[in-house]
Amino acid sequence: MDNFSSIKILIFICFYSVVLGDICGLSSICDCDPIEDPLNVICQGDFLTIIPQDLPPYIQNLSLKSTMIRDCDSTLGHYTQLIHLDLSDNQIFRISPSAFSRLSMLETLNLNHNYLNVLGARNLEGLSHLLRLHLQENTLSEIHGSVFSQGACSSLTSLDLSQNKLNHLHPNLFQNCHQLQILDLSHNHLTNIVDLPSSSLVVLKLDGNNLGGMQSNSPFRRLNKLKTLSLNDCKLHHSSHDYFDGLNELRSLFLEDNHFLELPFVNHVKRKMYLKELTQLKIGSNVLEKISTELTVMPNLKYLSISGCQNKKEFIIDPDTFKDNHHLHELSIRSCHGLMSLPDNLLLHLPSLQSLSLRGNGLHRLSPRTADWNALNYLDLSDTQLFCDCSLSWILETNYSEFRLLFEASNVTCLEKEGKLSLDSLDCHMKHGSLLNSNTKYLKFIILAGVCAVILLLGAGMYLYIGKHSNERRKSIHRRRINKMDISVITESVSNPSEYKDILYEDNDYDECSPLRGNLSNFPDVKTSVL
């Protein structure tokens, strides 16, 4: 350590004792936070109307939050070592040109909740190392196109311009923001999207803007590094298959409170899978009528929320909707009163599904074939009215014991009776503590009917068999009796004995078993005698 460094330390110690000792714990306006750290200063109070000028020049963190300061002027130039400056919740309506020109080390500038309506060309001059700029909830209606040029904010990574009155942005506003990763433009009056920093942007929030009239079919084409896109309440109704073109790295997409009749990537099934890396999707308060196979373009989807379907028609979910979403971990379908039923096998082949919310839908029945209910760790059926009958009896079966605990904790109510559903109160027959459900009853009925049919068939077969053999037995007995008779035919008109054979064995109407086949009425002169 050289002599010069020793002198600097000595000067610092002396200054700390003489000057900073007067700041920490002794001033009614400004204080150190924490009390022993003189580099972090907080000044507050309604009587503070200007930026203090008597603070140590090398403080690093200065909070002037919630005061009555109205103007940012060159006074801030005294504190050249500032890293974090908080001027939020004040009355600031104007920033003097070059007010921050000497704050080259500043990394965070918070101007939230003030009354700024214009951001001039030189208002951010000198902030070459600024990383985070917060301008949320001002009255900004105009931002000069060169405010971020000439080295100002060249290191900026996060910019919050939300809740202002911006209706347009200069086309070249962000052309020098090569490091910008997070941009929040939500809740303004924007109707179009200008050229955004495509090489770096990771998070883009556009909630609450009127973007439904955008002419471009691919407004995000150049944002190939974007991972989070929020378009809630943007009055979107597009179904163009190119709408999300270019978002090959997108992980989270929020589309709540729009005017979609169908999911905006419905045609992607036939095209390139732009959203194949998507893991989180929220769609709510739209006028969706159905969901079919649109989600097949998202094989890595883990979190899906569909809520507040405003369409009063029946809301239909195709049985194959989730057939390729094998990584789906959390599914929420809430407040869709048109959702009356869930198809069989809809969720049965989702091995990763752990959390399911079906709150406030129009469901009246649950089927054991819809999902692997026992695999769930969380279930929400609040505000759901089910038919409290034997159609729910499968829940009481032994192999659904784990799901039964989740079901009973969901506070389901009955459609036809008041109060919460209790599985013990189901109107079904109980025996030895187990429920004979409707499926079991039908099965037993079918078995009993089958047994009866078999018995009847066997009985009929035996009857026919015995009857046939009895008839043959009677014929056999009759034949034996006839064969024991000697038939002598004596006639006066027949003298030749050989003619007896022709008469006796002539084939006519008599039974072939009878030795006397001829019709004797034709031989009036024939006389017979039985010896």
pLDDT in tens, 71-92: 999 899 999 999 999 999 999 9
Residue 515 has pLDDT above 90, yes or no: no
Domain shared by 492 and 520, yes or no: yes
Q: What is the pLDDT of residue 268?
A: 46
Q: Mean pLDDT, to the nearest integer, of 96-109? A: 93
53 belongs to a structural domain: no
Residue 516 has pLDDT above 90, yes or no: no
Q: Mean pLDDT, to the nearest integer, of 306-329? A: 87
Q: What is the pLDDT of residue 231?
A: 95
Q: Mean pLDDT, to the nearest integer, of 428-453? A: 63
Q: 338 φ, ψ to 5°?
A: -80, -5
- Relative to beta strand 108-110, strand 355-357 is unpaired
Please tell me what DSSP assigns to residue 269: G
523 belongs to a structural domain: yes
Q: How confident is the model at residue 409 (pLDDT cuts 50, 70, 90)?
A: confident
Q: How confident is the model at residue 433 (pLDDT cuts 50, 70, 90)?
A: very low
The predicted model scores a pTM of 0.74
Coil/strand/helix, residue 355: strand
502 belongs to a structural domain: yes
Residues whose CB falls within 8 Å of the CB of residue 484, separated by 6 or more in sequence, listed in order: none
Whole-number Å distance between alpha carbons of 119 and 138 = 11
- Name which residue leads in pLDDT, 282 or 274: 282
Q: Which two tokens stand for residue 197?
A: 């920093």
Residue 498 has pLDDT above 70, yes or no: no
Q: What is the pLDDT of residue 109?
A: 98
Q: For residue 116, which amino acid is it? A: L
Look at 188-192, 354-358, 441-445 and tell me which has the smallest mean pLDDT: 441-445
Please tell me what DSSP assigns to residue 486: P
Place of tokens 């998070």: 203
Whole-number percent of the chain with pLDDT over 90: 39
- Name which residue leads in pLDDT, 76 or 17: 76
Q: How confident is the model at residue 493 (pLDDT cuts 50, 70, 90)?
A: very low
Residue 195 has pLDDT above 70, yes or no: yes
Give the chain's mean pLDDT: 80
Residue 432 has pLDDT above 60, yes or no: no
- Name which residue leads in pLDDT, 500 or 70: 70
Q: What is the pLDDT of residue 509?
A: 45
Whole-number Å distance between alpha carbons of 65 and 42 = 8
- Name which residue leads in pLDDT, 106 or 35: 106
394 belongs to a structural domain: no
- Name which residue leads in pLDDT, 477 or 453: 453
Q: What is the pLDDT of residue 440?
A: 56
- Name which residue leads in pLDDT, 330 or 457: 330
Residue 488 has pLDDT above 50, yes or no: no
Look at 122-126, 138-142, 176-180, 475-479 and tell me which has the smallest mean pLDDT: 475-479
492 belongs to a structural domain: yes
- Name which residue leads in pLDDT, 291 or 437: 291
Phi-psi region of 308 (alpha: psi -120 to 50; beta: other; left: phi over 0): left
Q: Mean pLDDT, to the nearest integer, of 450-459? A: 87
Residue 323 has pLDDT above 70, yes or no: yes
272 belongs to a structural domain: no
Please tell me what DSSP assigns to residue 458: H
Q: Nearest-5° angle of CA 280, CA 284, CA 286?
A: 130
Q: Mean pLDDT, to the nearest integer, of 22-46? A: 76
Range of the domain at 496: 485-531
- Name which residue leads in pLDDT, 491 or 50: 50
The alpha carbon of residue 423 and the mean position of all alpha carbons in its chain are separated, in whole angstroms, by 28
Look at 111-115, 164-168, 228-232, 285-289 and tell me which has the smallest mean pLDDT: 285-289
474 belongs to a structural domain: yes
Q: How many domains does the chain have?
A: 2
Domain shared by 494 and 530, yes or no: yes
Tens digit of each residue's pLDDT (9 = 90 or more) over 222-257: 898 999 999 999 998 865 667 888 888 999 999 999
* Cα dist from 43 to 46, 51, 61, 67, 499, whole Å: 10, 9, 11, 8, 152
Look at 15-19, 334-338, 386-390 and tell me which has the smallest mean pLDDT: 15-19
Q: Mean pLDDT, to the nearest integer, of 350-364? A: 92
Q: How confident is the model at residue 184 (pLDDT cuts 50, 70, 90)?
A: very high
Place of tokens 């039908």: 442
DSSP string, 5-18: HHHHHHHHHHHIII
Q: Mean pLDDT, to the nearest integer, of 93-115? A: 95
Residue 469 has pLDDT above 70, yes or no: yes
Residue 46 has pLDDT above 50, yes or no: yes
Q: Do 375 and 354 meet the contact criterion of CB atoms below 8 Å apart? A: yes
Rg (CA), the chain: 47
Q: How confident is the model at residue 429 (pLDDT cuts 50, 70, 90)?
A: very low
Domain shared by 529 and 499, yes or no: yes
Residues whose CB falls within 8 Å of the CB of residue 23, separated by 6 or more in sequence, listed in order: 30, 31, 32, 38, 41, 55, 56
Residue 295 has pLDDT above 70, yes or no: yes
User: Using omega within 30 degrees of 0 as the cis cutoff, is the peptide bond preceding 515 cis?
Assistant: no
Distance separating the N- and C-terminal Cα atoms of the chain: 161
DSSP string, 15-52: HIIIIIHHHTTT-SSEEESSTT-TTEEEE-BTT--S--
Tens digit of each residue's pLDDT (9 = 90 or more) over 197-225: 777 999 999 999 999 888 677 788 889 89
Whole-number Å distance between alpha carbons of 322 and 307 = 17
Q: What is the pLDDT of residue 353?
A: 96
Residue 322 has pLDDT above 60, yes or no: yes
Q: For residue 197, which amino acid is it? A: P
515 belongs to a structural domain: yes
Cβ-in-10-Å burial (0-12, 13-18, 19+) of 72 comes to buried
- Name which residue leads in pLDDT, 311 or 317: 317
